[in-house]
Structure 1
Amino acid sequence: MAMLFATIAISIDAMLPALPDIAAELSPAAPNAAQLVVTSFVLGMGIGTLFAGPLSDAFGRKRIIMLGSALYAMAALACYFAPSLEILLAARVVQGIGAAAPRTVSIAMIRDLYSGRGMAKIMSFVMMVFTVIPAVAPLMGQGIIAIADWHAIFLAYIAFSAVIMLWMGLRQPETLPRTSRRPLKMSTLWSATKELGQHRVIVISTIVQALTLGALFATLSSMHGIFEARFDRAETFPLWFAFIAVGSMSGSLLNSRIVMSLGMRRVITGTLAAQLALTILCLVTIATGL
């Protein structure tokens, strides 16, 4: 499960050290446009998320993960041969659509087997393993660039996807039996969407997650440029990023220990309050030049 979650992280974080090289080769007149390599992937991921869940409810979890992983690999191959930034961005959107399947459906697989605080505990352990990827992905990307060039990162993505498909095909059983599947009908999807929209907790949770992930991906897309332009730390950026990822992993481990005793609501409220306080601290630090 952690590997399925890691599809998103490795697809974004391994690209960060490559952004300057991509800009120099494909967009020398507008180097900041290279950040769209991250944004376009996130856009595709958002699109794919809308369809991956309903499709897995209708056709089973394994099949959709396999199809998504295959689409991800084919898009990575298109990225490898992309002759222009525009084609690269289009292929990254498709790659994001494919990556949404492993990420989204893996949550559904956990939900098939667990619920409530038990699910929260399992998710915390999965996230703890998952957060190791951001620590090593930039180092992997920089290592590949040192040996070959940024194009070769997409070959690593293809290999990663192949491992997922092999493991899913040989080891992972289907978690959604045929008797529990629901036909794919637009009327059913629309009624389910309307029902979800009537639950205040779901609406608020969705908004909070959207804002949180929006801030995260905005940070990821600009972080390498900030380390290079403001701190002159471009060469050591993967190490600094790994340090940040270790902090995230520690938070996931702590969450898995306290969520069963404190409950999900208290943990979420406390972490959001801490995030707000730390964001204000960062703003004050930047404003005062400390």
Structure 2
Amino acid sequence: MSPRQRLRLILVLGSLIAVGPLTIDMYLPALPAIVDDFATSSAAVQLTLTGTLVGLALGQLLIGPLSDAVGRRTPLIAGTALHVVASVGCALAPSIAVLGALRVVQGLGAAAAAVIAMAVVRDLFSGSSFARLLSRLLLVMGAAPVLAPTIGSELLRWTQWRGVFVALVVFGVLLMLVAIFGLRETLPPERRQRGGVVPTVRLYGTLLRDRPFVGLVLVAALAMAAIFAYVGGSSFVLQGQYGLDEQRFGFAFGAGAIGLIAATQANVRLLRRYTPQRILTAALFVGSAAALVLLGVAATGLGGLPALLASLWVVLAATGLAMPNAPAVALSRHGEAAGTASALLGAVQFGIGAVAAPLVGVLGTGAVAMAVVIAGGLVAALVVLLVVVRPTRLSTVEVEPDAVAVATH
């Protein structure tokens, strides 16, 4: 496989993975404006974020088994088309209730890209090889949370919040072209699962009986909950409590994402010396400690905004180390049903994230509320890893076929 083929694979799959973060993050600078436009509460507007996460969770549960039965391309193209239609509806939404409902549909469409991209990677890799490629994909994916709030804030210079969803329509159309012309089928007919409700339920039952797999899914989901607590609360904390304008918020938010990106790329080098299990354990220890520091800074105000941003940066960097490794170990255990396993992983991640985002609003939308949810998620993830998964007892499967070239034209 040539470097050009590898780069093309990363760009194609990275663009698919990025649709979720772009859908979630691009409108974050506009949340206060949406509150004013619909004369509603911040908690109600945060529920539109929750709606997207719910859609992402439910969509993955449906699309994962479907992709194991019929292949990867057809569900991907259909889901992307749904995302485009829902984005058009969001741009025209007459009320906060309609916007929230359409955000659920938008999440359903985005779920196709998320689960198919992960399943394609698992079709071709496992173990540390999976984690290395996923780390590269997270470099592309990481550009989404870096750029999305900044793009959104710049769009707000020239348009209202509805223009953000028009931009998502354009991105969705481009994504459809990528799916149609840039990705070949990676699941041959002889490896597909038989469709139907009973086999699907039986397969989910098999996955749920695998204790380490379930534990790793919870670890990934709780770490993701910490990220979504930051995503859901950061605009209100940084703009409302600390007085940043929309543009400075975009840059501050992007700085945290840069920490996450840097960590995912450091992970590639670390995997040459350490197993994914060891890196995951160390990352959660560091992330939990940094989250507790964040909580102390938020509660006391010690160090002000610089201390808050610094501790957040460490939290995000530690999570960036954890994010590729938990799915890599989990999905290596079930390569025969990569789509379904990836769907369950993604559904639990976004399902718990859907709870974490509005929980910040319920607790008060301030820095303390955000820090409580972040710290709770990471500490809980560490406990689950040590008590349920027991990472020292796991083995890592290594597969790195040169057949990856078949994934791209």
TM-score w.r.t. the length of structure 1 is: 0.97
State whether structure 2 residue 250 is matched by structure 1 residue 238: yes
**Between the two proteins, what is the percent identity of the paired residues?**
32
Counting only pairs closer than 5 Å after superposition, residues 1-290 of structure 1 correspond to structure 2 as 1-26=13-38, 28-235=39-246, 236-290=248-302
Residue 194 of structure 1 deviates from its aligned partner by 1.7
Q: CA deviation at 1:37?
A: 2.0
Q: CA deviation at 1:96?
A: 0.3
Q: How big is the shift at 1:214?
A: 1.8
Counterparts of 2:146 and 2:138, CA distance in 1: 13
Q: Which runs of no fewer than 5 residues in structure 2 stay unpaired?
A: 1-12, 303-409
The Cα shift of 1:32 comes to 3.5
Structure 2 residue identity aligned to 1:210: A
Q: Per-residue displacement from partner, 1:53-93 (whole Å, max 9, x unpaired)?
A: 10111111011110110010111111111100000000000
Change (3 A) 1:29 1:87: closer
User: 1 CA distance for matches of 2:100 and 2:77?
Assistant: 23
Deviation at 1:30, TM superposition (A): 2.0
Q: Which moved more, 1:31-40 or 1:11-20?
A: 31-40
Q: Contact (CA 8 Å) 1:68, 1:97: kept in 2 or not?
A: yes
Structure 2 CA distance for partners of 1:29 and 1:159, relative to 1, 3 Å: closer
SS at match of 2:161: coil
1:24–1:31 Cα contact (<8 Å) kept: no
CA distance in 2, matches of 1:75, 1:206: 29
Single out whichever of 228-237 and 157-166 deviates more from structure 2: 228-237
State the match for 2:316 in structure 1. none
Q: 2 CA distance for matches of 1:237 and 1:270?
A: 30
Letter in 1 for 2:81: A
Work out whether residues 68 and 101 of structure 1, in 8 Å CA contact, stay in contact via their aligned partners in 2.
Answer: yes
Displacement over 6 Å in runs of 4+: none
CA distance in 2, matches of 1:94, 1:222: 23
Residue 271 of structure 2 aligns to a residue whose secondary structure is helix
**CA 1:269/1:84 → structure 2, altered by over 3 Å: closer, same or farther?**
same
Structure 1 residue ranges without an equivalent (≥5): none
Instruction: Give the distance between the partners of 1:165 and 1:239, measured in 2 at CA.
Output: 29
Give the whole-Å Cα distance in 2 for the aligned partners of 1:261 and 1:189.
38
**1:184-242 CA distances to partner (integer Å, 9 max, x unpaired)?**
22211122122112212101111112211122212211110001222111331001011
**TM-aligned CA deviation for residue 29 of structure 1:** 4.0
Sort the Cα spacing of 1:29 and 1:173 in 2 relative to 1 into closer, same or farther, 3 A: closer
Contact residue 121 and residue 260 of structure 1 kept, 8 A: no
Alpha-carbon distance in structure 1 between the residues aligned to 2:51 and 2:130:
31
SS at the partner of 1:260?
coil
Q: Report how far residue 289 of structure 1 moved.
A: 2.1
1:69–1:101 contact (8 Å) kept in structure 2? yes
Moved more, 254-263 or 30-39: 30-39
Report the AA paired with residue 122 of structure 2: R
